[in-house]
Amino acid sequence: MAQPIMLTLSHIDFTYPGTPEPLFEDISVSFPQGWTAVLGDNGIGKSTLAAIATGRLTPDAGSVSPAPVRLVIGVCPQSTDEVPDNLEDFAADWSPEALSVRQALRLDDGWLYRYDTLSGGEAKRVQIACALAKRPDLLVLDEPTNHVDEPTRNAIAAAMGGFRGIGVLISHDADLIDATCGRSLIFERRHVGHRNVTVANVYQGGYTQANAQRRANDERDAGLLRSARREHERLRGAQAERFRQVQHANAARDNGGRRIDPKDHDARGALHLAKATSLDSGASRAYAQLDGRIAAAERRVASLSVAAKRYDGDIWMNAAPSHRTELIRIGPGVVRFGDAAVVDDAVTVARSRLCADGGLWRVVAADDDMAVDGVGVRIPLLSVGPRDHIGLTGPNGLGKSTVIRALLRAAADVRMLTIAQNTTDEDARRAMTRLTGLPTRDRARVLSSYAQLNADPDKLLAGESPSPGELRKLLLCLGLLDRPELIVMDEPTNHLDLESKEALARVLAEYPGALIVVSHERWFIERFIS
């Protein structure tokens, strides 16, 4: 078929099995040619909508047009553990189109034959290349800049710019969205009446423009709701005043002339009685009319929607630094790839080296011309104290994760919490099992902390499986119960929405113990390093 110019999802309902509340109710969205960003909080349904659009999930109600089976579809999933289904075909494809994709994403030909050994950023580039190589009508990129450094992010943006089909970008990377997307679909939780619902609104422009419009709309809607509530209260007050008037008039009429003082020679009492009696019918009519106006005001208040409440408070953190003066000491030497063992041989060729500058550690390419054939990362003497906050950064493939593994080996006797780059379904199952088995007080502490990381505790309590971003938040909150002396997090901002990143940075900055975080986001590291 000819390449479609629009993908339309109409009146979509979807509920995950075993969950009490639907994820979607009557969602209708369209995706034209070009790139549309899909934004929203963790767990709100972005990846689920993409799965419905590509035919990997079937909605409970609604339709997708054109049907996914009529389209050539390319998907780059969140996890780098998913090997592209056309990897072997792409490796054997030396057509001009395939070569152009390889060049745009700066792929090493050898990567295609050793996918399981690649770094997260290298694997992500291969995933995107394989998706583009299908020449798809519909291309879905789900968090494509997780794990990647700045040069790789630029390469991904350039490759996206050459795509001419229907592009769906699920991302929390504001810079990438601004650089590539002409429209944004934002999933939002809205409070309507007495419940929160998920809505999908389309805004023109990338993240910056769309988010500014969304915030302006939120302020407008909040103002309309305040005005509607004020009008409702004014009418209720007016009704109460009319009720008092009716009561007064009725009392005056029932008492009749007994209320007139015989000594009232200037007839003030008679005049008062006449006035009250005349008010009887008018006040009664006004009172009855107000009933209808109040009912209309109540319906208006109930019909208006506002942004659902976001949590912004303190996280429960019953932690204290270790009494030891030093938690980790390794080096100098070369940390070998694979086994993360430190080799003290000064002549060992290293692919890269680590530069430590206070709380900022950077892995950079080695000076040796033969570094590409190096066996590991050259490190100086590294020491981690009980209160040190350290950020580890550097390009993909140079050995950041290798350094982390070496640090963890040296910290075997330290009480620590580690959260890896990628989480699994088994991680989610274990986390939920531990949460439900906690004593009431501890479970309340975990859920309170979870809420402060811009997450919804009610969804967890309802038994819903957490999204990758929600799971990372939950693992942190559960781990804090164990009062760790050291927290190690590898790319903690992967999968997190922007509000959650800000909340996490604030929490980590307040952590009193030792902290080591691997991240490509410099602003994030600068928020908490010592």
411 with 326: CB under 8 angstroms? no
Among the residue ranges 1-5, 393-397, 448-452, the one predicted with the least confidence is 1-5
Q: Is the pLDDT of residue 307 over 60?
A: no
Long-range contacts of 232-236 (CB under 8 A, 24+ apart): 232/294, 232/297, 232/298, 232/300, 232/301, 235/290, 235/293, 235/294, 235/297, 236/294
Per-residue pLDDT, 252? 64
Whole-angstrom distance, CA of residue 486 vs CA of residue 515: 6
- More confident position, 282 or 86: 86
Per-residue pLDDT, 379? 93
Q: Is the pLDDT of residue 363 over 50?
A: yes
**Beta-strand pair 360-365/389-393:** parallel
124 with 80: CB under 8 angstroms? yes
State pTM to two decimals: 0.66
Per-residue pLDDT, 194? 65
3-state secondary structure of 491: coil
Confidence of residue 390 (pLDDT cuts 50, 70, 90): very high
Per-residue pLDDT, 111? 92
Per-residue pLDDT, 272? 47
- More confident position, 4 or 2: 4
**Stretch 349-375: mean pLDDT:** 80
- More confident position, 494 or 11: 11
Helix intervals (H) in 262-377? 268-303
Q: Is the pLDDT of residue 264 over 80?
A: no
Per-residue pLDDT, 297? 67
Q: How far is CA 514 from CA 305, 360, 415, 417, 481, in A?
A: 44, 14, 11, 11, 16
Confidence of residue 277 (pLDDT cuts 50, 70, 90): very low
- More confident position, 349 or 276: 349
78 with 495: CB under 8 angstroms? yes
What is the phi-psi region of residue 55: left when phi exceeds 0, alpha when psi lies from -120 to 50, beta otherwise? left
pLDDT in tens, 134-145: 999 999 999 898
Confidence of residue 271 (pLDDT cuts 50, 70, 90): very low
Whole-angstrom distance, CA of residue 52 vs CA of residue 75: 12
- More confident position, 44 or 261: 44
Rounding to the nearest 10 degrees, give the CA dihedral for residues 412, 417, 420, 425: 120
Whole-angstrom distance, CA of residue 517 vs CA of residue 498: 18
Q: What angle do CA 248, 286, 303 make, to 5 degrees?
A: 125
Whole-angstrom distance, CA of residue 205 vs CA of residue 291: 46
Per-residue pLDDT, 308? 58
- More confident position, 224 or 157: 157
Per-residue pLDDT, 270? 45
pLDDT-above-90 percentage for the chain? 36
Question: Mean pLDDT score of the chain, rounded to an integer?
Answer: 83
Structure tokens at 123: 């694997």
Per-residue pLDDT, 266? 45
Q: Match 């009933």 to its residue by tokens.
A: 291
3-state secondary structure of 58: coil
> At a CB cut-off of 8 Å and minimum separation 6, what does 194 contact?
302
Whole-angstrom distance, CA of residue 279 vs CA of residue 246: 8
What φ, ψ does residue 218 adopt, rounded to 5°? -60, -45
3-state secondary structure of 484: coil
Q: Is the pLDDT of residue 329 over 90?
A: yes
Whole-angstrom distance, CA of residue 412 vs CA of residue 306: 49
Among the residue ranges 235-239, 388-392, 412-416, the one predicted with the least confidence is 235-239
3-state secondary structure of 301: helix
Whole-angstrom distance, CA of residue 31 vs CA of residue 175: 21
pLDDT in tens, 89-125: 999 999 998 998 998 888 988 999 999 888 878 888 9
What φ, ψ does residue 284 adopt, rounded to 5°? -65, -45
**Beta-strand pair 34-39/183-192:** parallel
Q: How far is CA 99 from CA 75, 95, 105, 214, in A?
A: 20, 6, 10, 41
